[in-house]
A and B are shown apart, each in its own frame.
Chain A
C-alpha cells in the first residue's frame, strides 16, 4: 500500500507539473517572455511578406540613372547599383545609400532580412525594384522595395562640391558621396539661445544617441550639416569627432548629399585641420 501511495503521489505531482507547464493555448495565459517576444517579432515577420504589387514589379527593365531620374514619382523603377553605406537594419528593413558610376540613389526602408543586411557591405552589387518617390525634396526609392544581389563591385570616390554650395547645381549631386573642404565651424543656437559647436537634434532637445547638428560656413554663407545617428551613431569616428569640434575650427567633411527641404548632407567623416 505504501508503494501504491508513493506511486499515486508521484503521479499526482507529474500530472500537476505537466498541467502547469502546458498551460492553456489562450494567448492571455502565455508566459510573459513569450508574449513579449511575439509582440517584438510581430512586425518583423509581417514586413518580410512582400506585397503582391512588389512581386509584379520584378518585370520592370533595369534603368540607367538618367532613366531613373526621368521617371515620374510613383513610377515603378528598377536599378542596378552598389551599396555605399547602410543605416541600421530594423524590423526587416534597411535604408541604403547606393551609387553606380552614372549616379547615386537613396533607397528608403528596403525589405531585407537581417542575414542579407549583413552582406550589404560597401561595394556590394544589388538590383533594386520598387517605386520612385519624393519626400521633402529627396528623390528616393520608396519603402518596401525589394532587391537581389548581383555580381560586381563599385565604391564611389567623393566629389568635392564645396564650390556648389548655395547654387542650384548642387542638387545634381543628390545622394552622392561628396566632400566639402576648408569649411569653418560656426556656432549653432539651441531653442534657449545657447550657442554650441553642435547640438543633439536640431534644437538641442536630444541627448547622446540623437542626430548631431552643426553649422559650417564658406565664403560668409552658413549651412547646416547632420550626423545621422542611424548611419553613424555614438562610438563611430565621425560622431565622436563632431562632439570634439570647436567653433572656429577649419574642417574637411565628407558625406552623402541627402536632401530635406534643401541640402542636408549626412556627414560621415570630419578632419580638423
Chain B
C-alpha cells in the first residue's frame, strides 16, 4: 500500500513539476532573463558590442566618439565597440523599435527617456541601471573600473533624475542642452526697443509685429530686404510644452493621463494664429532653419537648441547659407521667452544613453563599462565643447580645463565662439530652472502632438483658413487620432501597479486551489482506506 501512495504522490509531484513551467512559461516566453550584475567581469572572453550614436551632422562629434571608443578598447582590449552613426533621434527610435521585435537591438544606444518608455513595453528589454550604478566594483566610481569614473554624486542630480522611469534609472545622461533665443540685438534696438535680460512672450510678439512694417517698394523697413520672418521657432513641440509649463497649464500626469487639450492650450494657439497670420511668426517646418534667416538678417528672434549655437550669428562658424548672404549684427543669447520672468522655466534636453539587455550578462557588463566611460572627463569636456552642450557631470564641469574654456569666450570664432559659450552658460546658470515632461509609454507621441497643433494652426492661418473654437475642437480630435492619444496607457513606464486582479483571474485561481484541495483530499482518503484495509 505504501508503494501505491508513494507512486501517487510521485505522480502528483511529476505533474506539478510538469505544469509549473507550463504556467510560468506563459509570461515573458520571448523575454531575456532579467539582468543581474556579475560578481566579476570576465576579461578572458572577447565581447563585441554595438553602439548606436547620434551626432549633429558634426564631424568633430564623430571624432570624439571614435576617440572614446579607441580609449575604451585600449583599457579593455577584450571589448570591441562597433559604432553606427545617426543624425536623427527619430531614426534611432524607429530602428530600435524594429530591432526589438527581431531581438537585434544594439547594446548601447543614445536616446531620449521618452523613447525608452516605449522600448520598455517588453519585459527586460532595457537594463535598469540602479544596481550597476551602485555596484562597488563596476559601478560609478567602482573599485575595479579601469578609468576615472565619476561617482553617482558627481553626476548632475537634475540630469540623472531625468533618466528615472517608474522607479528605476534606465539611462545615464550623456549631454544636456536647453533652448535659447538667439536675438538680432541690432534690429531690436533699431526698432526702438531695449533688449531685456529675460524676454517675455509679449515683448517678442510686439517687436516681431513692429518688424513687419514695409517700405513702399515692398521691402521690410528693418532690414531693407524682401524677406523678414521676425520670430522663427525650430521645435514647436518644445514651444508648446514650455508655454504650458510657464503658464501652469496642464500637459499630462506622470501616470500618462493626457491633459493637453484644455483652455490654456486653446488660448496659446490663438496667439500663435494671430502672429502667424501676419507673417511675424513661423516655424522650421514651414520656413526652414531659423539660423539661415537669422544669419542673413531676415529674422530677429530665432529659437533653437543651445546645441545649435554654432550655426547662429553674423560670424557663425557653421552655416548653410553662402558668405555673401551674411549680414553684420550683434547676436544676443537669451533664455526662451517667459510668461513670468521671476520664475523662468526652460526645457532640459539632450542625449542620454541606455543599455539593452542580452542573454550574456557579461556582455551587458561590458556595455555598462563603455556607457560609464562616456561620462569620463575627457569625453564629456570634448563633446560639450563641440556645441552649446553642458557636461552632465559636476566632475567635468568643475575641472580647470573646462572653466578655462568658458573663460575664453570670444577669443576665436571656432572653439571659443562667443555665441556658443553664451549658450552653454545659459544652461549652466539655469540648471535649476530646467524641467522635463513626464515619461510614459506614449509620451513621445504626446510631445509630437503638442508641436503639431502649433504647426497646423500656423499653416492654416497662412492658408487663409479660420482658426476659431470649432477649428480648435476639430484640431484636438485630429491630433488625438493622429497620435493615438486616446489609446495611451495611463500607467507610467516601468513596473506600474496594475491594480486588483480581474474577477476572471480570481475565479481561475480559486478553481486551481479547489482542484488541488480535492486531489489532496483524495490522496488522504485513499491513504486512510489503505491503512484501514491493512
Contact = CB atoms under 8 A, between A and B. Distances in A.
Given A33-B30, A133-B286, A42 B483 contact: yes
B94 interface: yes
A9 B22 CA distance: 13
Contacts of A20: 23, 26-27
Given A8-B519, A20-B27, A26-B489, A36 B121 contact: yes
Nearest to B55: A205
Given A19-B504, A190-B59, A205-B62, A47 B121 contact: no
Contacts of B94: 40
A19 B508 contact: yes
A248 interface: no
**Which interface class (under 10, 10 to 19, 20 to 34, 35 or more) fits A?**
35 or more
Interface of B is mostly: helix
B516 to A, nearest CB: 8
B13 interface: no
A13 B19 contact: yes
Nearest to A29: B498
B434 interface: no
A24 B502 contact: yes
Interface stretch (B205-213, B361-369, B460-468): B460-468
A190 B61 CA distance: 13
A32 B30 contact: yes
B524 interface: no
A246 to B, nearest CB: 22
A262 B491 CA distance: 49
Interface stretch (A48-56, A167-175, A179-187): A48-56
Given A136-B289, A201-B87, A32 B320 contact: no
Given A16-B512, A20-B26, A5 B519 contact: yes
Interface string B11-54: 00001000100110011001100000000000000000000000
Contacts of B97: 36, 39-40
B288 A136 contact: yes
B121 A30 contact: yes
Nearest to B462: A74
B237 interface: no
B59 A191 contact: yes
Nearest to A57: B463
Interface string A81-118: 00000000000000000000000000000000000000
Given A35-B121, A35-B122, A47-B482, A21 B57 contact: no
Interface in B468-491: 474, 478, 481-484, 487-489, 491
B22 A13 contact: yes
Contacts of B60: 191-192
Contacts of B518: 5, 8
Nearest to A264: B320
A56 to B, nearest CB: 9
A8 B19 CA distance: 13
A1 interface: yes
B329 to A, nearest CB: 19
A31 interface: yes
Given A51-B478, A202-B57, A27 B489 contact: yes
A37 interface: yes
The 4 closest A-B pairs by CB, nearest first: A32-B122, A20-B26, A191-B59, A35-B121
Interface of A: 1, 5, 8-9, 11-13, 15-17, 19-21, 24, 26-33, 35-37, 39-40, 42, 46-47, 49, 51-53, 74-76, 131, 133, 135-136, 142-143, 190-192, 201-207, 210, 260-262
